[in-house]
Structure formats: structure tokens, C-alpha cells
Structure 1
Amino acid sequence: MFERFRKPFTPDTDYAQADLQLRAARDRAVAGDWTAALHLLHATGRDWELRSRRLAVLGIAAGHAPYWVDAWEAAMPGDPTVAILRAEGLTELAGQARGGASARHTTAEQFAEFHRISALAAQAGRRAVELNPEDPYPWVTRMDAMLANGHQHHDDFRVALGEALARDPYHFEAHLTAVTFLCQKWYGSHEEMFAAARTPAAAAPAGSSVVMLPLLAHFEYALREFGFDSRAESLGAKMEYFHRPDVIQEIAWCAAKWRAAGEPRLIARGVTLRHWLALANYLSGHDRAGTRAVLAPVGSYLGSTVAYGYFWMQQAEGFQAVSKWVR
């Protein structure tokens, strides 16, 4: 189990992470068998968190290789799931067009393309909402599209968030998007961001993924306050923030509540949340042995864990640094 901590390893960056069923279905769909994705989502049922994560990963594939979604729609015109995949695919392309740099390092051409594709994603998101009235996730796709011009859509964003939460009060992706939208680097403030993270974390039952959202808020705060452009050069200042007793206490509270209902599963958001906890412990210098146990079931699965990129220029570099710390 601990073998990867004793020798160099190559992080696995597949967005599906530990969900091997998702990997297999996506690969078969991209190879031409779109029914693999259909059957996977039918089997997922109303497990909204798992369904949302699987739709997101399939949506990435739909953005870059839409032909299998075209075949699905041709065989099943008006299929509700296709509408979600269309919206997700456009959201992926919009994000690719903008890039991950700060605003000052993003060109006017990148912003223009981001806005153009986001408008298409918003239109597709409206259709997805209409065709999937019980599913909270299409509302999240609408929220994502509003990141392109959030100042004009602040009220619309809150309406969409309310609609998603009416269908699933502790929907992880909805609350995650709210924390992002309301952080200072987007359209809110530190106070709004922490409230968006802490309120559902406090109200949710033990074991719910949303209880870990305050960790993300701390990552966002440190990124904004102690150097966005410098990243690794400002790592010392960011780590000093995480050494504050109140921050360490909140990290421990989140971890305890998240694990109070039993060991959380790896699929859905299980891998990402383990990375968050390991990163928070590393930055605070707290509970090295416990962090080793947190990372052990993760193996080499990294996927896309954006929080590592708040402290290192490459996500894999952060994962490797934390893994080295727990050896």
C-alpha cells in the first residue's frame, strides 16, 4: 500500500481518478460505443454527487471529441443526458480558451473567446435544465457559464444555486461553484467565500463532501493574500498562514466530520478531497502520520486537483512534494 512513498512515481492525471468504471465507459464512448456512457449513467441512478462527477468527466470528452455525442443524439433525438453533455463540453472548451492564468496574464483574445463560448454553454445549459427537471447538475452548468460575466449575473447565479440546492441541499458541485464564484478573485469577497463554504459544512450531515469546502476557502484566501503570480516563491508566507491555530483547528474539524460516518469512498469526489486534506496538513505541518494514511488509498491518482496549482506551478509538483513529506 505504501510502496509509492518509497520510490518515485508518475502521477495519474486522468480526470476520472479512481472511478475505473467511468474510465472504461468514457474510453469506449470515445472509441465509438456511446452506449457505454448511457449504461454507466443509468446505473449511477440518483446518486447526484457521483452522477455529477461522471457527467463532468464525460463532458470533457464531449468537448474535445463530440462525434460520439453526435451519434448518441442521432440515435436518441432529444435525449436529456445529451443536453447536459453538450453544455458540459462547451464549458470545457470555454475554460480551455481562457486558460488558467490570472487576469493580467490573460489576453483580450482569450477573454473574448471565453465569453463567446460561455454564451453558447449558457444556451446549452438552459436546454439541459428544461430536459432534466429533477437533476441538480444542469443548474451547475448554468452557474459555470456565468463565470464569464458574473458582475451582470450575480442575481441569476443565486437563483441557479437555489434551484440546484432545492433538488439536493448538499450538492457538492453546486456549493463548490458557489465558493468559486464568490471568492475575491472572481466576483465576491473573502467573507462571502468563507460563508459559502462554512454554512453548508456546518449544516450537512457527517460524511458529506461539502464539509470539506472550508479547506478550499483557505486555499483561495492564501492564494489571493500571499501571492497569485509568485506561487512557489510565496510558499513560505502561505504556509505561515496555515500554521495559525484557528486554521489548523478548522482543518481538523472538517476532516473529523467528513470521516465520522466511516471511511469516505474513493469515487465521485473522494480522491480530490483526500488531496485537499493532505495538502492542508502539509501546509500547516500538522499530522504527518495521519496524512500518510489519507494518501495511501489514493495511490498515484491525481486527475486535476487545482488546489495544488495554488502553491506550485504544476499540480503534479505539489502532489509529489506532499507525498515526499509523508514518507
Structure 2
Amino acid sequence: MPLFRRRSGGEGEQDRAGRRGFGFGLGRRGAGSAAPAGGGEPRLDQSYGDESARLALRQALAGDWAELRPLLAAADNDQLSFLIGVMSEVPRVEQWTSRALADTPDDTLLLLLSGARHVQWGWEARTGGWAKDVTEERWKLFHKRLDIAEEQLLEVAEREPSWHAPWSFLQRSALGASLGPEVAACRFEAAVRRAPGIVGPYRTRLQQLSAKWGGSHEEMHEFARATMLAAPEGSQLGELVALAHLEHWLALPEGEDGAYLTSPAVVAGLQEAAFRSVLHPDFIPVRGWQRSFNAFAMAFSLADQPKTARLLFDALDNCVTDAPWHYLAGDPVRSFRVHRDRCASYRR
């Protein structure tokens, strides 16, 4: 316990969205529901089986804005946030968006994509290690990129006040730039007001309240549980309880961490959260459902609850999300496989 030593990190370690970031779940399996267990190897799919995301990723990699723009223009508010989150992970998007903006500075969709990419690009410069291990050069690059993101995303928010996406990315920017608790709270409220059921802003808020970002375990757990109880049964927001316990586990010394997650109180809390949210009959898979299932699967496996973990692994059908498996040492796919196989050996 745990299977694999954890990666070093703590203060400022990223919960990297979608593939590597705060809170941008990447899609659903078509329009579908949780799939039954099947054969094959675990896989990390940035599109999460979503055809529009696959297309957007191809176009973003090719720098084909002429083809990509109509896809974004036709998206509703939630899908736009989802697609922008997917593409913010694509290397070199910042290069072709900067060139395109020089020609069409009034294109708000282009400005949104550029701002989102600069947030992610900034975090890539900072890395996910301890603050003391980040070089001065990387700090400067981190803040330079976040400054560009702030300017661009605030402009988008002013032009399109109903859009959720700029506020979600501005949350992450505020966290990295240490803009303070008032700004963090305001941006969280702005994001939630525009998209009340989207889990991404809540994940970022949980990070802001965690001990490693200047909050406390108590504040973090209180937020997670209160959010879960305020949401309807079957809401994805119950995932926050699992994430809070994983954050607490991550902060503890080896030995104390396993004892914490296997304690009766924590196991009971995880069970309550899972069966109130992702394992509730009213749960409807939406974009990002795989990330919630991965979070609960990892938490239950580490808590030595293979029976419940197996329900989640079976539903995932080998679909791996980088978060929260990146909290364990080594490749997330390998970590997923080892924990899945361990739980698969459980006999009902």
C-alpha cells in the first residue's frame, strides 16, 4: 500500500486537466453510457471516444483553423468548454493561434483557444514538482505565459459574457499566479453561475482549498461534502469527496497514508459518495464521466475495497484518465492496469 510509490510533488502539483490539467474531463463514449467490461489493454484516449473531440484534436494538431472554427462555432456552451479543454493540451497550438490572431484579432473563438493554451502551456513550464524545485527561469516563463492568458481570457469574457470556458481557465490561471482567495472565489462563482452542473470548476476550487495551495484538509473536505449533499443524487459532483481523500492521502507520510485511506470513516465516506453519485441509479454519463470513475476506482483500490473498485473498473472498460493516476509513480496506464488486475482477482 500503495501499489507503486507516489510521484514527488505537493505544493503546486498539478491535477492535470483532461489528460493533464485541472478539471477538464474529456468527453463521453459517443453519447453513451458506461460500457460493460471487455477485453483489451488499458488505453489513454484524449478524446475519450468523442467523435467531435477526435476531429478537433486532428485539426488542432494540423493547425487547420479554417476547418476547426466551424466545429467550435456550432458547439453549445458545454461542448465548447470541453473541446477547448481537449485542444489546450495539444503541443504547438500556441504557435499557429498566435499567427492567426495577428491576421484576425477580432476572432473571439481563436482568442479563447489561444488563452486556454497559454494557461496549460504555462503549467507545462512550471512542471508539477515542488515549488522549491522550480528554477527561476521556469517561474519567469510560467508567469509570462499566464500573463498572456489572463489578458486574452478576460477579453473573451468581456466579449462573450455567457461563455463558461474563459472563467474555467481563468480559475487555473488565478491559482498559478497566486491572485489570492477573493479572486479565486469570484472566478469560481463566475464559472459555476454559467454552468452549474459542470464538475471542472469544482475540481479547481478543491485544489484552491487544499493544504498544498494554502488551504487546509478540513476546508477541502467540508467543501467536497457540502457540494455533494447540495447536488441531486446521481450528480457527478460526488467525485469531489474521492478527490479530497486522495489529496489528503497524498499529503501524508508513507505508512500514515495507507492507514488513512483504509480507516472505517474514510471508507464509509467513499462508499456514501460513490453510491450517491456515479453508482447511483440516476447517474447519467456526461462528458468527463470516465475521469470520475477513474478517481473512485483509484480511491477504492487504495482503500482496499476491491469489490466496489471492480464495479468502477468494469464500467470503464479499460479507459484510463491521467488524473488522478499521475499521483502514483510511473505510467498512469500501468498503474491503472495493476490496480484493475488486483481488483479483478476479487471473487464476489
CA distance in 2, matches of 1:314, 1:249: 29
Is 2:268 the counterpart of 1:239? Answer: no
- Asked if 2 retains the 8 angstrom alpha-carbon contact of 1:29 and 1:68, the reply is no
Question: In 2 relative to 1, CA 300–24 (structure 1 residues): closer, same or farther, beyond 3 Å?
Answer: farther
Q: Which SS does the other structure have where 2:68 is aligned?
A: helix
Is 2:291 the counterpart of 1:255? Answer: no
Distance apart, 1:274 and its partner CA: 0.9
Distance apart, 1:26 and its partner CA: 1.7
Is 2:325 the counterpart of 1:298? Answer: no
Q: Deviations over 1:214-270 (max 9, x none)?
A: 1111111111123xxxxxxx3x532221111111111111111213254542x6211
**Larger RCO of the pair (alpha carbons < 8 Å, separation 6+):** 2
Distance apart, 1:170 and its partner CA: 3.3
Distance apart, 1:80 and its partner CA: 2.6
CA distance in 1, matches of 2:339, 2:204: 26
Q: How many residues align?
A: 307
**Structure with greater proportional helix content:** 1
Is 2:165 the counterpart of 1:137? Answer: yes
CA distance in 2, matches of 1:38, 1:282: 42
CA distance in 2, matches of 1:271, 1:297: 9
CA distance in 1, matches of 2:295, 2:173: 25
Structure 2 match to 1:231: none
Q: Which SS does the other structure have where 1:15 is aligned?
A: coil
Give the letter for the 1:321 counterpart: V
CA distance in 2, matches of 1:36, 1:163: 31
CA distance in 2, matches of 1:39, 1:247: 47
CA distance in 1, matches of 2:175, 2:82: 19
Question: In 2 relative to 1, CA 85–12 (structure 1 residues): closer, same or farther, beyond 3 Å?
Answer: same
Distance apart, 1:36 and its partner CA: 4.6
TM-score, normalization: structure 2? 0.79
- Asked if 1 retains the 8 angstrom alpha-carbon contact of 2:209 and 2:215, the reply is yes
Structure 2 match to 1:324: 341
Distance apart, 1:42 and its partner CA: 4.5
Question: In 2 relative to 1, CA 149–69 (structure 1 residues): closer, same or farther, beyond 3 Å?
Answer: closer
Identity %, equivalent residues = 23
Distance apart, 1:75 and its partner CA: 8.1
Gap runs ≥5 in structure 1: 227-233
Distance apart, 1:41 and its partner CA: 3.5
Gap runs ≥5 in structure 2: 1-36
CA distance in 1, matches of 2:66, 2:307: 44
- Asked if 1 retains the 8 angstrom alpha-carbon contact of 2:60 and 2:93, the reply is no
Give the letter for the 1:84 counterpart: L
Distance apart, 1:138 and its partner CA: 0.9
| One of 309, 327, 330 as aligned partner of 1:310 | 327
Structure 2 match to 1:178: 205
Output aligned runs, 1:52-63, within 5 Å. 52-61=81-90
Output aligned runs, 1:32-43, within 5 Å. 32-43=63-74
Structure 2 match to 1:80: 108
TM-score, normalization: structure 1? 0.84
| One of 92, 95, 118 as aligned partner of 1:64 | 92
Output aligned runs, 1:125-204, within 5 Å. 125-150=153-178, 152-204=179-231
- Asked if 1 retains the 8 angstrom alpha-carbon contact of 2:93 and 2:114, the reply is no
CA distance in 2, matches of 1:297, 1:183: 29
